[in-house]
Structure formats: C-alpha cells, structure tokens
Amino acid sequence: MKAASSENVDLRAAGPPRRDWKRYTPTAIATGLAVVIAATLLQLPFDGLLAAVFDGAERLSVLRARDLPMAVVSYDDASGRRFGDPERIPVAALVATVEAIVREGPEAVLVLGPIDDRAYRPEELETLAAALTRHRNVYVGFTDDGALGRSVPGMASMAGRYLPAIVSKDTYSYGADSVTRRVFLAIEGFPTAYGAIACGGLESLSRWNRCLEENRAESRGASWQTFIDWRDVRASLARFPLVDVVDGAFPAQSFAGRYVLVGRSLSVPRDRDFVLTPLAKSRPTTSVLEAAAQGLGTLVLRQGVGTSPNYVIWFLTVVFAIVTTNVALKATPQRATLLAVLAFVLLVLLSSVSLLLFRRWVDVVHPAMAIVVGYYFVLPYRLFDEYQKRWHYQEKSEFMAELEELKSNFLSLISHDLKTPIARIQGAAERLIAEKAPPERVEKTLRSVVRTTEELTEYIEAILDLARVESGALPIHKASKDLNKTVEAVLDEKAPMAHEKGIAIDTDLEPLFAARYDEKLIRRVVANLVENAIKYSPPDTKIRIATREEGDVLRLAVTDEGRGIAPDEQERVFEKFYRSRTANTESVRGAGLGLYLVRYFVELHGGTVTLESNVGTGSTFTVSLPT
Ligand code: ADP
C-alpha cells in the first residue's frame, strides 16, 4: 500500500519523463534565434545610426588632434567688396595671391572654386593656367562635379594639376543628411586634388597604394574615400582674407612649409560655399574651403579613419547576439540587464580602442542592435517558460496538500475503524470469560463477534483492493454472466442488514441477456451500492433496485429514500477516502473507499457510474455496463 502510493506521488510530481537532450533545447533555441537575428540585422544598413555614432565620437574627440600644417586664404565678403565681384575671384587678384604665397615657399598651393568655362571666359582661363603652371606645386581643384570628365578650354594646359576637388557629402549614404564626413582620394579612377597633393598622384602606384592603406581609405561606389579626422577647425587653421594677401598685409612666414588653400567663402551664396560637418550638423557654418583643408590635412597627416572589415562586424554581431539571447534566457532579469549594459560598455571600449590604435572605427550599431533585439526576443519565451514552471509548482503543491489531507484522513480512519471493531471483539471475549452467562447470551455475543469480524474483513478487503488498484495489479477475469443473478446474490447477503433497520428492498429486475464481466468485481460494486443505501437511509424506508437493458448497455439503478447528497459533494463522494462530514455519516462506519472502488471497477469494464440526488429525498446511483 505504502509503496504503491509513494510510486504514485513520484510520477505526478516529476511530470512527464525528461529526456537528456531536452536540457539543451533552450540553448539551441536561443542560439538559433540569435543567428537569425544577427543575419537579419546584418542585412539592414543602419547608416543613419552609424553616422550618429561616428559624429558622436568625432565630437568627443576620441582622436587627439595635431596642428594642421595648413593655411586658408579666402575670398571673403571684404575681398568681394574690394574687387567689386561677389561671385568670381578676378583672375588678376588670384594670380597675385598665388604669387605672394609661392614666394614664401609653401609645400603646395591648391586653388579651389568654380574655375571653369562657366565662371570665366576662355582667355581668362588661359591667362590663369599660364601663370599657375609656372610653379610645379600649384594645383587647381574644381569643387563642382559639373567639370568632372570634361576638358575645360584653357585649363587643359595644367593637365595633371587641374583636378577634381569635390567636397564629399553624405547625400545617400550614412546619415543621408548632406553632412561632410569623408574626403575623396580618387573619383572614377582619377586622383582628386587632395589625393594628388597628399599621395603624389598615381605616378607611383606603390606609393599611392601605401597612401590609401595609411589613410584607411575604402572603395565605395566608384570612389576611394576616408573619414575626415575632424578637429576644431577654428583652432587649428591659419586664416587670411585674400585681400590682405594681395596687399602683402600678412606676417612673414605665414605660408612657408604649409599647404595653402585659396578659394571663395562669401556669405552671400551660402549654400554653395558652406557645408555641414559632424561638429555642426544643423547649420552650414564651415566653408567649403575649410572642409577641404580638413580633408587634405587628414590625408597629409595620414590620419584618415576607416571602418572595420565586414567579417569583424559579422563576428561581433553573431557573438553578441548568441551571448545575449542565452544570458537573457537563463540569468535572472537583474543579472541579464546588467550583463546587457556591460556588453554595451564592452562594445564602446572595443570601438574606442580600435579607433585609437588602428584608426578603424568598429561599427557598434549592428552588435548593439543584436544585444537589444536578442534581449527582447527572448523575453516572451522567458515569460512563457516561467509561467509553465510556476504552473507546475502550483500543481505540485496542490497535489501535496491533497495528499496530506488524504494521509491524515486515512490515519484517523485506520485508527478509528480498525480499533473499534477489535475493541468490541476483545470486550465480548473478556465478558464471555468473566461471566458465567447462559448459553443464549453466549450465542448472541458470539454472533456479534462474527458480524464485527465480517465488517473488519470487508474493511481490510477494501484497503487491499485499493492497494491493488493503485499498483495496477488488479486482474480482471471476464465471463458471461446474468447481472440479475449477481444482484440477487448480493441482496441475499445484505437482507439481514436491511432487516435489522426495518428497510424494505423492492426489486424490479427485467430479464436480461448474459453480459461479460468480472463477477467478483461487479458483485462488490452492487454490494457497495446496496450497503450504502442501507447505511445512509433512516430506518423503515424503502430501497429500490432495478435492472434494464437499453441497446448495448445494461443499467443497474439503486435508489434510496435516504438523506441525499448535496450538489457540491456529488462528485467528491467518488474520491478516495472522501466521507461526507455530516453527523449522519459520522455515526456510520466506512473507509470512504466504497464509491471510489465502485467507479474504478465499473470503468475497468468500460462503463460509467452516475449519481442523481436531492438532499432530503434520496439518491439514485446508476451503473451502466456495456454488454
Ligand atoms: P463510506 O461509505 O465508506 O463512507 P463511500 O465511498 O461508499 O464510503 O461513500 C462516500 C460518502 O458518500 C459517504 O461517506 C457518504 O457520506 C456518501 N454516500 C454514499 N452513498 C450514499 C447514499 N446512498 N446516500 C447518502 N450519502 C451517501
């Protein structure tokens, strides 16, 4: 009995049998999910976010700026007023400026601007080209891509020193916000003025390639570009108004050994002359000239910043996704959040180290998105899992409480129901020994001893049946029988018990075909129902027992005029050890096992037991057995 019930407990408490591989299922799910997340994220560019991160790093000046060996000579508003031309720099003024600079021995001079046949007449361009070609380190760069790939009359004689100097704007890539972040080294296979001055042009391919590598330049579309190492423009650039240079009103040695840019920065045609930079993204406050100086300065100092190779980004994204999803799945929410934050910090550190040591900025956006998405994707699974676990524990604790109740019920029943009859037998035997009673008293006492022993046997039998039922070791032997015969046999047996209480038993047994059932078990079913009807009915009432055959089913109904069973108890009375807690029941002996076994035995035959009852008027238990 004990072994049987503890086996029962283990089975229910442990839930369905666990297989070993199941332990790895969450890890596998999390890892699979992580790979899908990473693969999806890597398909998305997140250019805007990338730009924001880069701009942030620029503003924080992660890189230490060095002084630029640059000077800027600008055709500003004052110069425009002086020469009476707010659009174009007059050729004579331009030539005079370049001559003044060259006299000081600069490293290189770059004249920037709309210097083409749309701004100047052909003869003006010829004069300009002739004057400038005299110096081998003077270049002319056009900032408007309208001149790209076009032979501009007059400038042809400058050949390799009339080059594109277009200032790159992120119109489609990165922030798509027209901010100048990069500098062109080459466009469509031709070095730009910046590339030519800083890297010596394409004449020596090995030097050019080394310069690209040193500047971490990357090929995007048909161009080579590198991120400009922005610094505080105002602090590090030497600036001169063009008019002062023409007048010779500048300190000596202003241009010696420097890279000098000459060009227009009039405030009137603002849109054309000024650009947005990572340091000033909302208003164009930096002149094209200064942006060009920054770009050229970056290249001259070999300070170009590149991005990390794709495989690094893939690796980081996948690793961060896998780690985050697994952590989010297993760690406590606090720890998972802390680890996610740590992962962010680690990413930022990684990218700063890479920027400082290798001048490559790691794309932190994809791995960071992997952390966020990984974390939030796992949450629903996590909640579901927690819910399942809680549900399991709740079920287990409910079951334990039920078991506890059963145990205490059982113990009190055992102590009461086993001890009482034994005490009665003992009392009777002691009386017989002590008294010299007349033979009829002796017989009466012995009869009561026999009845008590029968009750005791029945009780023990019920418990043994329960043990067999629980351990699944209950054999069933079906044979063809007549249910009416079984009923009559039981009634013969129970007649004295009914008679004692003055209870009349009416029978209404319809002739039945033989059915196949286990006679011993069904006999216990009938006996239990009849016995209950007698036990729970007041004296001098009636019990009716009827059998019917309806199609494939035999029905046996036991109806009494007893106290009835309340609706909320009608299901519970079939539970193991359940006894109704009414005064009536307490005065009646029983283990609370009868109806449990009745239902069990009937269901073993594929049948059902139903109960209809009204408190005060009586109950009808109906057994349906398939033939
Ligand atoms: P026992 O009779 O040993 O207590 P049962 O499982 O046979 O156990 O019955 C469970 C409970 O159902 C009884 O304690 C009693 O309260 C109630 N019961 C059973 N049969 C009847 C009936 N015919 N009329 C009223 N109550 C009944």
Cα(586) to centroid(ligand 1), Å: 11
Cα(591) to centroid(ligand 1), Å: 9
Residue 235 pLDDT level (bands cut at 50, 70, 90): low
559 touches ligand 1 (CB under 6 Å): no
Q: Which atom of ligand 1 is nearest to the CA of 563?
A: 25
What pLDDT sits at residue 11? 41
What pLDDT sits at residue 300? 92
Tell the residue nearest (CA) to atom 16 of ligand 1: 580
What strands, in cross-sheet order, belong to the sheet with 218-220? Answer: 190-191, 182-187, 223-227, 218-220
The DSSP call for residue 277 is B
Residue 14 pLDDT level (bands cut at 50, 70, 90): very low
The residue-averaged pLDDT of 349-360 equals 86
- How crowded is residue 421: how many other Cβ atoms within 10 Å of its Cβ? 20
560 touches ligand 1 (CB under 6 Å): yes
Cα(574) to centroid(ligand 1), Å: 9
484 touches ligand 1 (CB under 6 Å): no
Within a 13 Å sphere around the CA of 320, how many CA atoms are in the beta-carbon half? Answer: 32
The residue-averaged pLDDT of 338-346 equals 89
Which segments of 7-135 are extended strands (E)? 70-75, 108-112
In the chain, the percentage of residues whose pLDDT exceeds 90 is 40
What would the pLDDT profile of 139-183 be if each residue is shown by its tens digit?
999 888 777 777 788 888 887 899 999 998 888 888 788 999 999
- How crowded is residue 115: how many other Cβ atoms within 10 Å of its Cβ? 32
Q: Which atom of ligand 1 is nearest to the CA of 621?
A: 23
The residue-averaged pLDDT of 545-568 equals 92
What pLDDT sits at residue 66? 66
Tell the residue nearest (CA) to atom 7 of ligand 1: 594
Residue among 579, 593, 612, 621 to mutate when testing ligand 1 (max atoms within 8 A of CB)? 579
590 touches ligand 1 (CB under 6 Å): yes
The DSSP call for residue 518 is -
Q: Which atom of ligand 1 is nearest to the CA of 558?
A: 23
Cα(462) to centroid(ligand 1), Å: 14
594 touches ligand 1 (CB under 6 Å): yes
Q: Which atom of ligand 1 is nearest to the CA of 578?
A: 10
What would the pLDDT profile of 241-282 be if each residue is shown by its tens digit?
999 999 999 999 999 999 999 999 888 766 778 899 888 888
Cα(580) to centroid(ligand 1), Å: 7
Cα(464) to centroid(ligand 1), Å: 19
What would the pLDDT profile of 37-91 be if each residue is shown by its tens digit?
999 988 887 888 888 888 887 777 655 566 788 999 999 999 999 999 888 899 9
Residue among 580, 586, 588, 621 to mutate when testing ligand 1 (max atoms within 8 A of CB)? 580
What pLDDT sits at residue 416? 66
What pLDDT sits at residue 443? 86
- DSSP class per residue in 159-224: GGGEEE-PPP-BSSSTT-S-B--EEEEEETTEE-HHHHHHH-TTSSHHHHHHHHHHTT-EEETTEE
The residue-averaged pLDDT of 462-485 equals 82
**What is the rounded average pLDDT for all residues in the chain?**
85
374 touches ligand 1 (CB under 6 Å): no
What would the pLDDT profile of 301-326 be if each residue is shown by its tens digit?
898 889 888 899 999 999 999 998 88
Q: Which atom of ligand 1 is nearest to the CA of 597?
A: 6
Tell the residue nearest (CA) to atom 3 of ligand 1: 590
pLDDT at 234 over 60: no
- Could you give the dihedral angle defined by the CA atoms of residues 290, 296, 298 and 299, in that order, rounded to the nearest 10 degrees? 170
Q: Which atom of ligand 1 is nearest to the CA of 574?
A: 6
The residue-averaged pLDDT of 465-487 equals 83
Residue among 409, 595, 615 to mutate when testing ligand 1 (max atoms within 8 A of CB)? 595
